[in-house]
Amino acid sequence: MNLFKGTGVALVTPFNADMSIDFPALRRLVQEQISGGTNYLVVQGTTGESPTLNSEEKKQVLETVFEANKGTLPIVYGVGGNNTVEVAETLRTIPKGVDGILSVAPYYNKPTQAGYIAHYKALASATDLPIILYNVPGRTGSNVLAETTLELAEIKNIVAMKEASGNLEQIMEIIRCRPEGFLVLSGDDAITLPLIAAGADGVISVVANSFPVQFSQMVASALNGDFETARKLHYDLLPVTRLLFAEGNPGGVKIALEKLGWMKPYMRLPLVQVSDALKAKIVEETIKLMKID
């Protein structure tokens, strides 16, 4: 689906010092994405610290994004888990205004490939919304193989895979064999450009939270075949991209967002703020990239 081509941003959840949600900062973040060229918003993914938000807070975050977005950009909502029945029940209650679902592969249980297929078939039957699969073995503990993705890609409302395995050969096999219209999206900011060069359709990005203009321009240039421009932007972004993930996500990107004046860097436990040494490096690279004081 063209709806999910280009740059999607996995929105962070801003917090106040008392760990309540900072809704004005969230509105500001959405507005910065709209003006910065982001193609769609992803709400309540891992970057949004979704495991630490209760159901009412998740509802409030989604409503705030609706309000700030005003129908401008498509909205993808993160709904995943390792209890298939519970995830399916949640999918049946998704409010109007959500354009697609991002659903991470079940974690901790470590299902077989047949288990992944049965899980996602159950989810696809629980909603008419388009579903983006999400393979991130570093978090889930097991890998969704290319042949599994390709089998699931034949299901009508399974429309894309966010691939964060880091396995270029696996990702290229999906691109090579996918059915027409099935999107492959990078789940790793640092290798988005090479994946687009190999035929991928875009990214769901963390870095674009803080640098939406540069990141969306890099992706758009690459998709349009202007690799000279895309390479320059890629290498401009690469140093800060490495730093943003050096001590986990979203700790790094929240430091950049603080330097930009968009929010404070607070996170809910068990996540803690990055070290002072890393913070200094992120601030330095943010100043350099954004040409600010």
- Over residues 134-174, the pLDDT tens digits come to 999 999 999 999 999 999 999 999 999 999 999 999 999 99
Instruction: Give the helix/strand (H/E) hosting 278.
Output: helix 276-290
- Over residues 77-110, the pLDDT tens digits come to 999 999 999 999 999 999 999 999 999 999 999 9
pLDDT at 129: 98
pLDDT at 292: 87
pLDDT at 1: 60
Residue 176: pLDDT above 90?
yes
CA-nearest of 249, 131, 132, 233 to 188 is 249
- CA atoms lying within 13 Å on the CB side of residue 54: 3
Instruction: Tell me the pTM.
Output: 0.97
Structure tokens, 33: 């994405």
Amino acid (1-letter code) at residue 26? L
- Over residues 184-214, the pLDDT tens digits come to 999 999 999 999 999 999 999 999 999 999 9
H helical segments located in 154-275: 168-177, 192-197, 212-223, 227-244, 251-259
Q: Tell me the catalytic residues.
A: 134, 162
At a CB cut-off of 8 Å and minimum separation 6, what does 108 contact?
82, 140, 141
Structure tokens, 182: 């099935």
What CATH number was assigned to the domain covering residues 2-214?
Answer: 3.20.20.70
Count other C-beta atoms under 10 Å from residue 92's C-beta.
8
As a whole number, the mean pLDDT across the chain is 97
Tracing tokens 């106040």 back to the chain, one arrives at 16
Structure tokens, 17: 């010092």
| Letter string b/e over residues 197-220, b meaning 16 or more CB atoms within 10 A of that residue's CB | eeebbbbbbbbbbbbbebbbbbbb
Locate the domains of the chain by residue range: 2-214
Quick one: pLDDT band at residue 2, thresholds 50, 70, 90? confident
Instruction: Give the helix/strand (H/E) hosting 287.
Output: helix 276-290
